[in-house]
Amino acid sequence: MDFKIAVLPGDGIGPEISEQGVNVMTAVCNKFGHKVSYEYAICGADAIDKVGDPFPEETFKKCMDADAVLFSAVGDPKFDNNPNAKVRPEQGLLAMRKKLGLFANIRPIETFDCLVHKSPLKDELVRGADFICIRELTGGMYFGEKKEGVDYAYDTNAYSREEVVRILKEAYKYAQQRNKHLTVVDKANVLASSRLWRAVAQEMAPQYPDVKTDFMYVDNASMRMIQEPKFFDVMVTENTFGDILTDEGSCITGSMGLLPSASTGEHTPVFEPIHGSWPQAKGLNIANPLAQILSVAMLFEYFGLKAEGKIIREAVNASLDANVRTPEIQVEGGAKYGTKEVGAWIVDYINKK
């Protein structure tokens, strides 16, 4: 297969982890006989500094022309600490999602046995937890009508039936491929938009008799994720709830640095780690590249290339078992490995298989 990949390194640690993701993808393509080419593009604070736009038209064109986007991270403190900033790096991320029609964000929450001790939860609660959060990505408050004043502001949480139907179809597809259990998360006892979500889900559930569908208020779901994470198989929810719940879910594993994601929809799919740009670590060679590398595994799997995804996952697990880890997940007394060294070890593992 021929791949044309748009690479958006972004800000902070983005360029460092992006390099390792590209190296791993190249190694896998070489091993399995795929051709791959890369088009690099700017986004986030880097793009604001260079052209004044966090998602320039040229970047959008490169994304549209690609088979997939390998994205890293955006964000910079100089914008975070300036409430009056009119343009922010994160606006580029929202623009990318909207322009590419990326309405479904897929975030696996998977534990690694050798890192269970890093989780803030008890071993017996998290060991074996393995579920997927599917977040609607282009509707809700993030894209609804807004008003911002000195003494009054509002955000509109708007959804159409069509938007709800298409994300639920994605959720049911994943549930059918897994353990056939779907949890629809809403706040239907309070919010009108959530009542639409629940009504549409109740109408659709009989079309998927092989899937057990249940409903849960978001506050209960956030509690249940901590009390009993192994209850969930596939969870689907709206944009704002999904943003919060997926970050909560990342804590179950003990490290955000191991969790990838995919955003799919109408045009080019995007694959990225769920963590941020961590600007304080920029250039220090300490950022964990595994989430970026696992995003490459998701990219291959999206195109039906399971063996390619499998070898990446094997390499990541092997690196963890060999204690080839960046500082935040290294065992006490373990050898020191940086971003580049972990990436190089995984590439070497793939080349030798």
Whether 243 sits among the annotated catalytic residues: the reply is yes
Q: Residues 320-342: what's their mean pLDDT?
A: 92
Q: Residues 194-201: what's their mean pLDDT?
A: 97
Tens of pLDDT, residue by residue over 116-157, are 887 888 888 888 889 999 999 999 998 889 998 889 999 999
Give the span between the Cα atoms of 299 and 351, in whole angstroms.
19
- Burial of 267 from C-beta contacts in 10 A (0-12 / 13-18 / 19+): middle
The structural domains of the chain, ordered by start, are 1-102+266-353 (3.40.718.10), 106-256 (3.40.718.10)
- Structure confidence at residue 315 (pLDDT): 97
Whether 142 sits among the annotated catalytic residues: the reply is yes
Lowest-pLDDT range of 83-97, 158-172, 205-219: 83-97
Phi, psi for 123 (deg, rounded to 5): -50, -50
H-helix segments, 72-160: 77-80, 89-99, 123-126
Q: Residues with Cβ < 8 Å from 180, sequence gap 6 or more? A: 210, 211, 212, 233
- Structure confidence at residue 308 (pLDDT): 97
Give the other-Cβ count within 10 Å of 31's Cβ: 14
User: Which residue in 80, 130, 155, 247 is the catalytic one?
Assistant: 247
Q: Residues with Cβ < 8 Å from 77, sequence gap 6 or more? A: 279
- Structure confidence at residue 287 (pLDDT): 95
Which is nearest to 43 in space by CA: 88, 99, 84? 88
DSSP for 4-39 reads EEEEEEESTTHHHHHHHHHHHHHHHHHHHT-EEEEE
Whether 187 sits among the annotated catalytic residues: the reply is yes
User: Which residue in 123, 214, 219, 321 is the catalytic one?
Assistant: 219
Which is nearest to 168 in space by CA: 141, 194, 216, 205? 205
Strand partners, 154: 147
Given a contact cutoff of 8 angstroms between Cβ atoms, the answer to whether 119 and 262 are in contact is no
User: Which residue in 49, 80, 155, 243 is the catalytic one?
Assistant: 243
- Structure confidence at residue 241 (pLDDT): 96
- Structure confidence at residue 190 (pLDDT): 96
Average model confidence (pLDDT) across the chain: 93
Give the span between the Cα atoms of 236 and 168, in whole angstroms.
7
Q: Residues 250-272: what's their mean pLDDT?
A: 89
What b/e readout covers 288-324, taking b as 16+ CB neighbours within 10 angstroms?
A: bbbbbbbbbbbbbbbeebeebbebbeebbeebbeeeb
- Structure confidence at residue 154 (pLDDT): 93
Tens of pLDDT, residue by residue over 61-113, are 999 999 999 999 998 888 876 666 778 888 898 899 999 999 999 999 988 88
Residue 306 token pair: 């399971």
pLDDT > 70: percent of the chain: 99
Give the span between the Cα atoms of 87 and 29, in whole angstroms.
38
Tens of pLDDT, residue by residue over 222-256, are 999 999 999 999 999 999 999 999 888 888 887 77
- Structure confidence at residue 83 (pLDDT): 66
Residue 328 token pair: 């935040």
Whether 123 sits among the annotated catalytic residues: the reply is no
Q: Residues 323-333: what's their mean pLDDT?
A: 89
User: Which residue in 53, 142, 174, 337 is the catalytic one?
Assistant: 142
